[in-house]
Amino acid sequence: MTDVPTDQEVRYIFSRQRRIRQPRCATEVKHICKSARVRTMSNLSQKEKLLYTRFFHQVDIDGNGYITLDELAALCKKLKFDMTRKQIVDLFLSMDTDGNFKITLDEFLAAMPNITPDKRSHGEMRQAFDQIDKDGNGLLDADELQAVLTKCGRSLSMVEVKSLIAKGDVNGDGKLDFDEFVTLFG
């Protein structure tokens, strides 16, 4: 993928923009964008703003201060969201309120209250799973789960941890994949 939209995506973007009343001047655009961001960002607590700001900087892979279409697509793929390229473009355009093909931190924070709780929860579960999965193989074994439980103040024996895994282990491999993890802890 590249940050430059394809010809088909550009046609789609312009056809979508024609349906929206065009502002009379750049000042009006800035005012509309700023008032929309202030309204939605005010719905976030300080803790949520800090959490989402940290997450924004993780998604902004090249550290340029904004999220590109490719970075958003990579995020959706990492979170295992089953989205078509068109759906990713739609999501990107809905977050890019000033239409400059960049999602700034303010735009990102403004969009967060609009993300459905189940999508937010899925993302948070994916982050937790990835942090626990120390070897990065996409599976949680007893050692990884025991380490995180101990870190959280819940010391369990290896037998207890294996018993916990067995409760969610649908395929019987003695480990938890992401879906089994979500079913067990979600």
Which residue ranges form the domains of the chain, and what is each CATH number? 7-115 (1.10.238.10), 119-185 (1.10.238.10)
Res 1 pLDDT > 50:
no
pLDDT value at residue 76? 81
Q: What is the pLDDT of residues 23-76, one digit of tens each?
A: 444 444 444 444 444 444 556 778 878 888 888 888 898 999 999 999 988 888
- Under a CB-based contact definition with an 8 Å cutoff, are residues 73 and 88 in contact? yes
- Cα 60 to the chain's mean position, in Å? 12
Size (the chain), residues: 186
Q: How confident is the model at residue 6 (pLDDT cuts 50, 70, 90)?
A: low
- Under a CB-based contact definition with an 8 Å cutoff, are residues 112 and 49 in contact? no
- Under a CB-based contact definition with an 8 Å cutoff, are residues 2 and 70 in contact? yes
Q: H-helix or E-strand containing 103?
A: strand 103-104
Q: What is the pLDDT of residues 106-145, one digit of tens each?
A: 998 888 776 655 555 666 777 788 888 889 898 999 999 8
Q: What is the pLDDT of residues 143-178, one digit of tens each?
A: 998 988 888 888 889 999 899 889 888 999 999 888
